[in-house]
Amino acid sequence: MIADAAALGIDLVYGAIRRPDVAAGHLALGMQKVGEMPVLVRPLRPVRLFSKFHGFPDTCVRLSAIPDLAYGRYLSLRRLSADSSYAVTDRAASEVDPNVVIPSLREMYPSEIRRRLTPETFANRYYSNTDGEQYRVLWVEGCNAVRATIVYRTAVRGNGIRNLVIMDMGYRFSDEAALKYGLLNIEKRAMQLGCEVILFLSSRTSIQTLLRSLGYFRSNETYMLMKKPTRQNAAAMVTENLDDWCFSFADHDAF
């Protein structure tokens, strides 16, 4: 693959691997470690999540509705205290004009190594999905402009755990508060969709810190970001500082 990439004029091959044995195999093939990225999680129905994760009987899963209801009310009260001066729109990605949301997905990442995002690549990435789950876009408006955007989807994984996965997000005009407001609305949306947990992946420490301030915490799952320049003079141009990269689940649909 790496040799073929060089023949096609591609200067860099990179990716993220979750399983340690697979990562070790890639390193043995000459890939170079950039850093490790933890998957952050936001439990929404913690008792049901715990019951499903440990494979408890269906009776335990059903009984979890009582304590989870109390926790859900706490989350709802927390959202009520948020700034309501913003307006939120949530649509299927295929119904969104990429030109409206791309600036807020990229303005906060001016120089990082990142996936190219244009109206064409946005459409190719998000307008359809091979597993049938729909990609959706939630954006936050204020002062007649889109100030923050979050791309997400749902996914059912092991033991029937239902996840809301944040694929990509960002804000512009230095309006971090707009992104926080969007994330609180993502919580609400995940509850409406019956999810037990929200998943998020980012290579940037500042974004991880932001989400931890909102109640996300580090899970046991970690991805190793690796790179392999395909020509000698490309190696010097590719940073080994993880914060100089912009990598998220938008680049990796395996979660």
pLDDT digit string, tens, across residues 102-154: 999 998 877 668 888 999 999 999 998 888 889 999 999 999 999 999 999 99
> How far out from the chain centre does Cα 239 lie?
22
Residue 67 in tokens: 């304590």
Domain ranges of the chain: 38-220
pLDDT digit string, tens, across residues 38-71: 999 999 999 999 999 989 988 888 889 889 888 8
CA angle 92/93/94 to nearest 5° reads 90
Class of domain 38-220 as given by CATH: alpha beta
Give start and end residues of each alpha helix (H) in 97-175.
98-106, 119-126
Q: Write the CB contacts of 235 (distance below 8 Å, at least 6 apart in sequence).
A: 229
Q: Write the CB contacts of 232 (distance below 8 Å, at least 6 apart in sequence).
A: none
Residue 185: CB atoms within 10 Å: 19
Banded model confidence at residue 2, pLDDT cuts 50, 70, 90: low
Banded model confidence at residue 4, pLDDT cuts 50, 70, 90: confident
202 phi/psi in degrees, rounded to 5: -150, 145
- Helix axes of 98-106 and 119-126: crossing angle, nearest 10 degrees: 100
Rg value, the chain, Cα: 19
The whole-angstrom separation of Cα 108 and Cα 169 is 10
81 versus 175: the higher-pLDDT residue is: 175
**Burial profile 71-101: b = 16 or more Cβ within 10 angstroms, e = fewer:** eeeebeeeeeeeeeebebeeeebeebebebb
Look at the chain and count its residues: 255
